[in-house]
């Protein structure tokens, strides 16, 4: 083969390899952007009803428009984002009615998932709950101003703690649905953080009591504590709506 032809063939091989590599990377990149966007919406980096402009988002997340559009479409299906023809994407609004509705669904699903998890969890599951609670308590035991400085960390550790409680749940759809409701309530939990710092001390105690009841396999007490915990947070959020 002549040098020029070999060069053309090599170029085409590299292009094909690049396309294959892109195909392998894109799904992972898309999932990462979905998670980052969701976290930013939950933490009120993007306020409810605010426009999500492609020019700003592509710079912030360093991804192409195609990947970003797919991520936003996923968040539309999850209820975090809305889209209007000719107007583009916006952060979904928050409302008292939605908060109450989501809370009712979440309470029911979480209690069922927790009871199932207690029934099937082993000693490894118990140790993971204790470890997750310890990581959460490191932040929750801080003075309120320092705790709020680490709010992004708290969001992640709070999620990990609550997921550890229901990690042994055997119902895949039950777990999936409770996770969807948990994600929706995350948007409203930030509103509760605007309450006086006494709220943080209350939640610190509640998390400890929930952990103890779950590890003790006391289904009735654990499910009642988790319901009270959820509804108390909702009441605080409603004061800011």
Report the domain count for the chain: 2
Mean pLDDT for the chain overall: 86
Query: Do residue 192 and residue 217 come from a single domain?
Result: yes
Span 15-72, pLDDT tens digits? 443 443 333 334 455 568 998 998 888 878 898 999 999 999 999 999 999 999 999 9
Cα–Cα distances (Å) from 109 to 53, 115, 176, in that order, read 35, 10, 10
User: Are residues 134 and 224 both part of a single domain?
Assistant: yes
Report whether 41 contacts 187 (CB < 8 A): yes
Domain extent for 212: 96-238
From residue 194, give the alpha-carbon distance in Å to each of 175, 191, 203, 236: 29, 6, 14, 9
Domain final position from 64, 91, 118: 91
Contacts of 99 (CB under 8 A, 6+ apart): 185, 188, 234, 237, 238, 241
Identify the CATH number of the domain in which residue 165 sits: 1.20.120.530
CA atoms within 13 A on the CB side of 152: 9
Domain's final residue, options 63, 91, 119: 91
Q: Are strands 81-84 and 88-91 parallel, antiparallel or unpaired?
A: antiparallel
Q: What is the pLDDT of residue 9?
A: 47
Which residue would you say has higher pLDDT here, 20 or 217?
217
CATH of the domain at 49: 1.10.10.10
């Amino acid at each position: 083969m002549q040098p020029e032809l070999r060069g053309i063939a090599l170029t085409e091989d590299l292009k094909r390899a690049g396309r294959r590599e892109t195909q392998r990377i894109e799904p992972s990149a898309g999932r990462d952007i979905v998670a980052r966007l969701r976290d930013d919406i939950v933490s009120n980096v993007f306020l409810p009803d605010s426009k999500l402009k492609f020019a700003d988002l592509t710079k912030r997340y360093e991804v192409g428009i195609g990947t970003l559009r797919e991520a936003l479409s996923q968040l539309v299906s999850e209820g975090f984002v809305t889209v209007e023809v000719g107007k583009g994407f916006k952060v979904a609004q928050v409302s008292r009615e939605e908060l109450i509705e989501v809370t009712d669904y979440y309470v029911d699903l979480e209690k069922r998932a927790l009871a199932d998890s207690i029934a099937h969890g082993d000693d490894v599951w118990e140790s993971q709950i204790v470890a997750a609670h310890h990581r959460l308590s490191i932040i929750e035991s801080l003075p309120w101003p320092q705790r709020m400085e680490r709010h992004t960390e708290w969001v992640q550790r709070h999620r990990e703690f609550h997921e550890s409680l229901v990690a042994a749940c055997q119902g895949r759809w039950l777990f999936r649905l409770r996770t969807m409701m948990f994600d929706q309530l995350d948007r409203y939990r930030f509103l509760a953080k605007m309450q006086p710092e006494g709220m943080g001390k209350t939640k610190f105690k509640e998390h400890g009591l929930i952990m103890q009841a779950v590890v003790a396999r006391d289904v009735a007490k654990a499910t009642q504590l988790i319901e009270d915990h959820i509804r108390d947070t909702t009441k605080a959020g409603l004061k800011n709506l």
